[in-house]
Amino acid sequence: MTSFTLGEHGTDCFTIHIKESNQRTEYWPVTVEIKSGGFSGQFKAEFLLQDLTRLYADLQRLHHDLLGSLTFHTLEAQLEFEMVGDGRGHFEVTGIARDKQGSQNELFFCFAFDQTFVPTTLGELDDIISQFSS
């Protein structure tokens, strides 16, 4: 299983684990783990590779500029978040996770971290995109 983490590993963050599938489809089975403050949760979903490709490009831009924002959402709205940079290397992520498409079970999360964690995330995403786009 391949994964990437946005935020500070082990504390406030989310990690997306991508399970390799024998079937080549547009959708990849994933497990999303979220830790925010005293709360944590996990759920299964399916993401499009293009979701991760778009996230990679947007995260590269935000890491370079340090100022601005990016938004991420999956087709079925199971994971949505916004990441905002303050121009000084600090980022805040706010979002919502749903355990199933259209579910009323929702986890709202918010956490902050600094730019030192972004290169690791970019490297993990690059590896995933390279592995699953071939």
Angle at 33 between CA 19 and CA 29, to 5 degrees: 25
> Which amino acid belongs to residue 48?
L
Residue 104 has a pLDDT of: 86
Dump pLDDT digits (tens) for 15-70.
999 987 656 667 889 999 999 999 999 999 999 989 999 999 999 999 999 999 99
Q: Give the bridge partners for 34, in sequence order.
A: 14, 41
Residue whose C-alpha is closest to residue 72's, from 90, 88, 93 = 93
**In this predicted model, which residue has the larger pLDDT, 60 or 105?**
60
Predicted pLDDT of residue 21: 64
Q: pTM for the whole thing?
A: 0.90
Phi, psi of 63, rounded to the nearest 5 degrees: -65, -40
- 81 three-state secondary structure: strand
The Cα 128–Cα 51 span in angstroms is 12
**What superfamily would CATH give domain 2-132?**
Transcriptional Coactivator Pc4; Chain A (2.30.31.10)
Note the pLDDT of residue 102: 79
77 and 96 Cβ atoms separated by less than 8 Å: no
Q: Structural domain boundaries of the chain?
A: 2-132
Residue 75 has a pLDDT of: 87
pLDDT at position 4? 95
Is the pLDDT assigned to residue 6 strictly greater than 90? Answer: yes
Categorize the per-residue pLDDT at 94 as very low, low, confident or very high, splitting at 50, 70 and 90: very high
Does the pLDDT of residue 1 top 60, yes or no?
no
Among 13, 11, 31, which Cα is nearest to 118's?
13
Determine the pLDDT at residue 5.
Answer: 95
